[in-house]
A and B are shown apart, each in its own frame.
Chain A
Amino acid sequence: MTYKLTGNDPLLGTPLNAVIRLADNAWIPIDEANRDYQEYLEWVAEGNTPEPADE
């Protein structure tokens, strides 16, 4: 499993507040109530690093 950070809205410049699960292009909200985000946090805690956001 790998993830990618999201940057800013291309038009408004505001943060998109999500991480992308690259296996299925799922947009996971930065919200601890979301189980996919919990899995992402566990993945990071294991020493993994997400891909950077697109410029």
Chain B
Amino acid sequence: MSLTQIKQSNISSDFNPSYRNLIINGAMQIAQRATSATGVSNSTYPALDRWKYFLSGPTVNVSQESFSLGQTDVSGEPEFYLRNTISSNSGASDYAIVAQHIEDVRTFAGQTCTLSFWAKSSVSGNKIAIELNQTFGGGGSASARVVTGDSDVVTLSTSWQKFSVTLTVPSISGKTIDPSTNTSYLELYLWLTGGSTWDSRASSIGNQSGDFDIALVQFEAGESATEFEHRPYGLELALCQRYYYVPLNYRWLYALTSGNTGNRRGNADFPVTMRSQPTVTPTWGQYASGTLGLQFGSAQGVTFYSDGVPDTSYTTVIFTAEAEL
């Protein structure tokens, strides 16, 4: 049987996963921490996976909202969108940003790329300013953070619209990444409000309030936006779990030897190798009291220990593991 060459131009990119979207959880599906949060704090991941918030001044509430089945306002039958509700901000230095940190500052360095997303606001005329920044790592030898500032801005209406913005990521020629840590990243900022102090970075959007609804965020190489790439749910979850993981079931801790007076151990493997050794927050499950801690840890799992638990008690633990950027 002879083989016939298939031309690339004959392959539809719309339905073939190409991993072209570097935004993780751009469809707002994954919510391991929570599906909503009120009174979001600065520099935190309050709800939907991978979406980080920076703010000073305003009150920010976030929630995962559902599209109705069969709606035609946003193409592709997405299930969820992210609602950001901004209130109580009027100061010149007030701001609120929803951000995503894309691992490795080499990402798209020196290239033209395109950000696309759907958005609407409860207040017609509200704007979202887009900014890209580069961080070269946390070590002392790393180059200083590069803030591009004032990259672009889009104006929202009360109806869903698809926006596409072409951006140029700065070259990293001559820069230094700290070789000892995996902490460099490309940073996407979506400015939701920014007083006059931030005009040069937030395209003078000013102080804004209301709901800012965002869906199907995609960031890809090239000068034009393609259709949103719907990755399988399990794959998207695994991509998120590289940075945050909360198991759905308790882990048992077992006595090491017969007659051991309280010392117990238990292992928990992570479903994927995490970006770095995570911060692990253990809490007791049922039936236990005493000392609970971590004996060993790595990017692939942890070993818990307990001490001082009566021999007649069971010992279970639940935990979260975070290795976000």
Contact = CB atoms under 8 A, between A and B. Distances in A.
B320 to A, nearest CB: 8
Interface string A26-55: 111101111111100000000000000010
A54 B307 CA distance: 13
Interface in B162-182: 180-182
Given A11-B305, A32-B180, A33-B182, A38 B280 contact: no
Q: For the side of the interface on B, what is the size category? A: 20 to 34
Contact of B279 (A6, A10, A29, A54): A29
Contacts, number: 69
Contact of B181 (A18, A25, A33): A33
Interface string A7-29: 00111100011100100111111
Interface in B211-265: 256, 263
Given A18-B297, A28-B279, A29-B278, A35 B263 contact: no
Contacts of A18: 293-294, 297
B276 A27 contact: no
Given A10-B305, A11-B263, A11-B305, A34 B278 contact: yes
B282 A27 contact: yes
A25 B283 CA distance: 8
B275 interface: yes
A10 B282 contact: no
Contacts of A17: 297
Contact of B281 (A9, A27, A33, A35): A27
Interface residues of A, number: 24
- Secondary structure at the A interface, as helix, strand, loop or mixed, is loop
Contacts of B181: 32-33
B293 A16 contact: yes
B279 A27 contact: yes
B52 to A, nearest CB: 11
B126 interface: no
B94 interface: no
Contacts of A28: 279
B319 to A, nearest CB: 9
Interface of B: 138-139, 180-183, 256, 263, 275-283, 291, 293-295, 297, 305, 307, 322-325
Given A11-B307, A17-B297, A32-B183, 14 more contacts: A9-B305, A10-B305, A10-B307, A16-B293, A27-B281, A27-B294, A29-B278, A31-B277, A33-B180, A33-B183, A34-B278, A34-B279, A35-B183, A38-B138
8 contacts: A11-B256, A11-B307, A25-B281, A27-B279, A32-B138, A32-B139, A33-B138, A34-B279
Listed from nearest, the 6 A-B pairs whose CB atoms lie closest are: A33-B276, A33-B181, A26-B281, A29-B277, A36-B279, A10-B307
